[in-house]
């Protein structure tokens, strides 16, 4: 399992803090409308991307 910092993208194999925030599990997020993918959660086509 890989953890990633949402601010700078630093990766770690252990859960850690970076930039004062807990690192999150790296995963893929997909837009339910157009199918676009991202490694970070966000908004696409006006909707929140979902973890896939």
pLDDT at 48: 94
Task: Show Cβ contacts of residue 13 under 8 Å, excluding neighbours closer than 6 positions.
Answer: 1, 2, 3
Closest CA to 1 of 9, 11, 30: 11
36 is in which domain, residue-wise?
Answer: 3-51
Q: How confident is the model at residue 44 (pLDDT cuts 50, 70, 90)?
A: very high
Helix (H) or strand (E) holding 38: strand 37-38
The bridge status of strand 17-18 relative to strand 11-12 is unpaired
pLDDT digits (tens, 9 = 90+) for 13-31: 999 999 999 998 888 889 9
Count helices and strands in the chain by DSSP H and E runs: 0, 10
Structural domains counted in the chain:
1
């Amino acid at each position: 399992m890989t953890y990633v910092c949402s601010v700078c993208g630093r990766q770690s194999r252990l859960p850690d803090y970076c930039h004062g925030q807990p690192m999150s599990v790296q995963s893929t997020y997909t837009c339910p409308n157009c199918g676009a993918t991202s490694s970070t959660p966000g908004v696409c086509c006006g909707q929140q991307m979902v973890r896939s």
